[in-house]
Structure 1
Amino acid sequence: MTRTTAGAPPSPAHTCDTGRLTLCRDGAIVTLTLVRPPVNAIDDAMLSELDAALASVAADATVALLRISSALPVFCAGADLAMVGARLADAHGAAAMTATTRLFHQVYDRLAGMPAVTLAEMEGHALGGGLELALACDLRIASHAARLGLPEAKVGLLPGAGGTQRLTRLCGPGVAARLILGGELVDGAEAERLGLVQWSAPAGEVRARADAVAARIADLSPESLRAAKACIALAAPVSPEGAAAEIAGIGALMGEAGTRRRVAAFLQR
């Protein structure tokens, strides 16, 4: 994407493919699509590409809405557990995973701080870091058939990319405890009832529902949207102490024998 100045007309439609994701511009709307088969598992390279794409969109004052979707049946399965497994077998793996967790926070904080409105479209499952990606957006739509959750405790880890903080801020400590401490996955309809997403739709209808939301947002004043979004962010900031605790927690859990056993069992499946 090319940088434009405030007040300039939106760029014409065009697409950019970075390898693990694509950016497609259509007027004032940019769609970022995750494309890393089979489940959009996130590794360091994908985080770097996502960070660069978000920086490009943030620098363009003519973007009113950023849509985040998936080209695959799954929205995003979260952190690449093959990467985690390899680091568990490495003497320096805990330090490397701590650095990756910091990168997750950097990228997701950039997404949460985007001037434009952001919309996550979850036609398929959003788990762990995939749901945390959606939680960093302003708006979320999920399919009734999608499964959403933060099940990191099943593999001996914790939601380290802002999940403990953003889910608690969004839905309250009761819902956060249910999903994180209970390891529960919920469908799109239940996610809407809990306030985890703003809308849910029958399978196959998420894109159409998102199109309608996007069209409505694109018709609003972009200056008003940016100003209002900044005010909303001031009302409920993410705790720096909470983010630091997540990062430290991942580093500590990487040294646990139980984590190694659980990750190995998951990868064998």
Structure 2
Amino acid sequence: MSGLGKLYGVGVGPGAPDLLTLRAVRVLQEADVLALPRSSDFGASMAYRILEPVVGKQRDKERLLLTFPMSKDPDRVRPYVDAAVETIGDRLSRGLTVAFATEGDPSLFSTFVYVRREALRRFPGLEVEVVPGVTSVTAVPAVSGLALADGQERIAILPATYGVDDLTDVLQRFDTVVLMKIGSEMPKVTEALTRAGLLDRAVFVSKATMPEQRIVRDLRAAQGERGDCFAMVVVTRGERSGLLVGEAPASPPGGFDKAVTEQEAP
């Protein structure tokens, strides 16, 4: 199909506007249309909240607010994806460039994955470019003082909202486990960590790099919490230190690095 515009999937990072990449800023500024996901018809777009301070309001640019409900039911989500692709496709068919802004990275637990797949199916020959973004997987260690991996260590990334029934097995097989999108699974997470003897090796972080950032190092104080899609738990066994074995203790004396506690929100 000729005359099609170009579709961009743009990662806007975990929350702090100054974590947008230079490429993301350029694409968002130059695109004809911004596609902005939100979780309900009456809610604001978190992606737009992140990018607006850097990119500006650009009142002459069309902004499409696209609803994607926070649901694990494919039958509920699919109509919203279809509607979004139809709306985006109308602009692409007119030769306009569309930048779909997504929190974190477009390729990691992002609605853009579904939008891209369906758009390519509907519009053969469509040019799609992904602009990677800083993810919460790296932002959480940055604000909490953790090291995800060194040398031999292996990492597992799990979406906790889909259940943690296999968490005990995963904790045994991986050195670092990142549990994204905690949702209502916090009691089960703390139970599994307690059984594995790793409760003291975990940290809970909500809304990393945002003004509302919260860090909890004693998960006993957070086990009754209901997290959200911006809440994560990172578990680090610290039993293998790669090439520099013996150079440093597996964990700082007294637990995780206390120097970063000043970043914690009250």
Structure number with the higher helix fraction is 1
TM normalised by structure 2 equals 0.25
User: Considering only CA atoms, is the larger Rg found in Structure 1 or Structure 2?
Assistant: 2
TM normalised by structure 1 equals 0.25
